[in-house]
């Protein structure tokens, strides 16, 4: 299983790590941490050195109840960061965390390689056509509702079956548009209770039936720290435990704040 990132083939015979770079003032874990060029370059250099294959850049906070920002503000935050990273790390593979087709187009033109859409094409009807035209890998995530209301009262009849149906339908639409490289993300914490999240983690292997790479985004989320009475800041050990379970159940990409520990988890699982 491979994806093509700006002419470079990424092979998933061994799982890969995607490092998170939030350039938002209000993200749940590292909001406001990377405001200037020096801090951004230092963090990205650290993640790449520690073994990240991809760097996921986000300028729109999607934590539960996050403030909605305009497309213009998102572009003002994110385009200069993409320019900075491409200039300083010419071989970098940048993923853009956005649900807006215009942001997707502008950042890919600037040098990004992948689009990571939390809405799975549901919040911008132009997104599928845009990524198909750009011919870039697309991460299709599931979310019930919007970041502003998704955790108010999430309900499912059979969450695993509903998500498999959702992905099958959206992948079919993308295939019709001749997009080859699709990655799925079940969207841990996006319109789901703790019980829903753990059911998806337990049954992650069932999503392999869709025959596309699976991204797992568990890093420091409340589904991990709430059951142990902790906080996002203290959830690294819980994250590594959950990442290991995800890997054993078929995850191909771990999207994380802590790259070194995720790379180590992959190395241990590979020893099996």
The position carrying tokens 């599928």 is 128
Mean residue pLDDT across the chain: 93
Residue 28 — pLDDT band, cuts 50, 70, 90?
Answer: very low
Give the C-alpha distances (Å, rounded to integers) separating 173 from 115, 150, 168, 179, 248: 16, 24, 9, 9, 30
d(CA 120, CA 33): 27
Over residues 131-190, the pLDDT tens digits come to 999 999 999 999 987 777 767 778 899 999 999 999 999 999 999 999 999 999 999 999
d(CA 189, CA 13): 27
Rg (CA), the chain: 17
Over residues 89-140, the pLDDT tens digits come to 999 999 999 999 999 999 999 999 999 999 999 999 999 999 999 999 999 9
Would you say residue 7 has pLDDT above 90? yes
Packing angle, helices 194-202 and 236-248, rounded to 10:
40
Residues with catalytic annotation? Answer: 221, 255
Fold of 14-271: TIM Barrel (3.20.20)
Tokens of 169: 């339908």
For the chain, give every domain's residue range.
14-271
Which of 228, 236, 267 has the alpha carbon at shortest distance from 50?
A: 267
Which of 82, 84, 164 has the alpha carbon at shortest distance from 120?
A: 164
Phi/psi at 5 (nearest 5 deg)?
-110, 100
Tokens of 156: 């499912």
- The pTM for the full model equals 0.93
């Amino acid at each position: 299983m491979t994806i093509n990132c700006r002419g470079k083939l990424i092979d998933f015979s061994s799982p890969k790590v995607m490092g998170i770079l939030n350039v938002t003032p209000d993200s749940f874990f590292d909001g406001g941490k990377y405001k200037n060029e020096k801090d951004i370059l230092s963090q990205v250099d650290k993640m790449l050195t520690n073994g990240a294959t991809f760097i996921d850049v986000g300028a729109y906070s999607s934590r539960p109840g996050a403030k909605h920002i305009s497309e213009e503000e998102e572009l003002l935050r994110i385009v200069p960061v993409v320019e900075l990273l491409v200039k300083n790390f010419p071989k970098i593979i940048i993923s853009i965390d956005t649900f807006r087709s215009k942001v997707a187009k502008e950042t890919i033109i600037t040098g990004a390689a992948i689009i990571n859409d939390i809405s799975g094409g549901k919040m911008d009807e132009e997104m599928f056509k845009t990524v198909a035209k750009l011919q870039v890998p697309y991460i299709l995530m599931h979310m019930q509702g919007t970041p502003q209301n998704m955790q108010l009262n999430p309900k499912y009849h059979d969450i695993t079956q509903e998500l498999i149906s959702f992905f099958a339908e959206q992948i079919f639409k993308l295939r019709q548009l001749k997009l080859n490289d699709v990655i799925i993300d079940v969207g841990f914490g996006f319109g789901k209770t703790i019980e829903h999240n753990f059911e998806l983690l337990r049954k992650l292997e069932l999503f392999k039936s869709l025959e596309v790479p699976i991204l797992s985004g568990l890093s420091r989320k409340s589904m991990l720290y709430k059951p142990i009475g902790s906080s996002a800041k203290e959830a690294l050990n819980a994250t590594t435990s959950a990442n290991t379970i995800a890997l054993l159940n078929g995850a191909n990409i771990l999207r994380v704040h802590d790259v070194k520990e995720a790379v180590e988890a992959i190395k241990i699982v590979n020893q099996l």
